[in-house]
Structure 1
Amino acid sequence: DICSDVKVPIAHQAAAVGDIVTVTNVIKEDPTVLEQPDADGMTLLCHAVAGGQLDTVKLLQKMGGNINVQDAAGRTPLAIAAYMGWYEGIVLLLRKGAKQDIYDKSGRLPIHAATYQSETRSMAILMQNLSEEDVNQPDNEVS
């Protein structure tokens, strides 16, 4: 229906900018929106991470958002936070149980994604929970 077609993009935009009131209202009205992906396969949680919205990430996780969901590129919220070098987001996601061993479709783990930014704290926190073998694992990126 046209009404729900409009609500999903509004909710995704609201998550990206940290509009907790809109996100909460849309999910209360239609709980399926919580896990509905956009055209890029990104859920509300992915958008909140991409927008660097810590409080929104906390809310969506508390509401049952899948912390290990993958977008169309295979990126998890943890990988998105790692690509951004968003230390606070990485710490929160790890504390909430985000898995570090999920490869994206380019063959990269979140630790590989963290190397795209010069945020050494992000790399350090990701490496704390990995074995030496995991840290030395080359990305499986196809050239």
Structure 2
Amino acid sequence: TKPAMTLAKNANKPIWTDLHDYDGRNPHHQPFIESASVIFLSSDNLPDYRGFMERMIGDGKELVVCTHGSDGATLLSRDGQWVEQPAFQVRQVQDTNGAGDAFFSGFLCGYLRGENLQTCLRLGAACGALCVSSRSLAAENLSLQQLHDHLRDGG
């Protein structure tokens, strides 16, 4: 994806990245960090996630979103907005594979539709909850309507 990042940067397109398994030190992630205007990551391997998020905003990133598994997610924006989103409760976790990607997708869907950041986080959390409730990498019959129903019903 590095050639694609160069093309996007040269075209002045925003780059969103997900730093999979980032621990705060692995040099593999550095080109993605440098190129991105929006960063998603998990706190699983990053104990000082808030410090990292603050450094990234200080370096000019637009948004940094950190997921915390069953503890929800947090977001820090360029204007200093700190937003927390608890995870939606699920009846039974079937498989956590794909939950981070599902979260990213739900958030991005809301963002592209012009939703506020809290709603984007809620859509991400809903999509993640639907994913872990499924035996597949994505919830069966996933749709924007299904996400909004999940939000309305409180999970």
RCO higher in 1 or 2 (8 Å CA, sep ≥ 6)?
Answer: 1
As a proportion of its length, which structure holds more strand? 2
Task: Report the TM-score when normalising by structure 2.
Answer: 0.33
Task: Report the TM-score when normalising by structure 1.
Answer: 0.34
As a proportion of its length, which structure holds more helix? 1
